[in-house]
């Protein structure tokens, strides 16, 4: 069955893409220096990273996982007693 990527997977992908841009920026900065255009590009990438992160979905997903863990603990506890 095909499932939609989770919010955590989307966050990881967004972070990987941002890190690649940041590494390229830093390599260029230390080898050749940065001009205003380069700095604007990395600032835009930082802004876009913040926009790409869906905090509400991540929080809902985290809470759902925590509820499942709590439920499993309750089941295991009730089996023993």
The three-class DSSP label of residue 51 is helix
Rounded-to-integer distance, Cα 73 and Cα 36, Å: 55
Look at residue 2 and tell me if it is in a domain: no
Rounded-to-integer distance, Cα 10 and Cα 13, Å: 5
The range of the structural domain enclosing residue 48 comes to: 7-80
Beta carbons within 8 Å of 13's beta carbon, 6+ residues apart: 5
pLDDT tens across the length of the chain (81 residues): 676 667 778 888 888 998 999 999 889 888 888 888 888 988 898 888 877 777 888 888 889 889 999 888 888 777 665
Q: What is the pTM of this model?
A: 0.59
The one-character DSSP state at 52 is H
Look at residue 74 and tell me if it is in a domain: yes
Contact indicator for 25, 46 with CB cutoff of 8 Å: no
Number of domains in the chain: 1
């Amino acid at each position: 069955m095909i499932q939609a990527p989770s919010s955590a997977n989307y966050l990881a992908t967004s972070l990987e893409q941002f890190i690649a841009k940041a590494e390229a920026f830093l390599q260029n900065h230390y080898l050749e220096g940065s001009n205003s255009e380069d700095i604007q590009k990395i600032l835009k990438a930082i802004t876009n990273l913040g926009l790409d992160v869906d905090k509400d979905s991540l929080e809902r997903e985290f809470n759902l996982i925590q509820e499942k863990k709590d439920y499993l603990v309750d089941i295991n506890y009730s089996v023993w007693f």
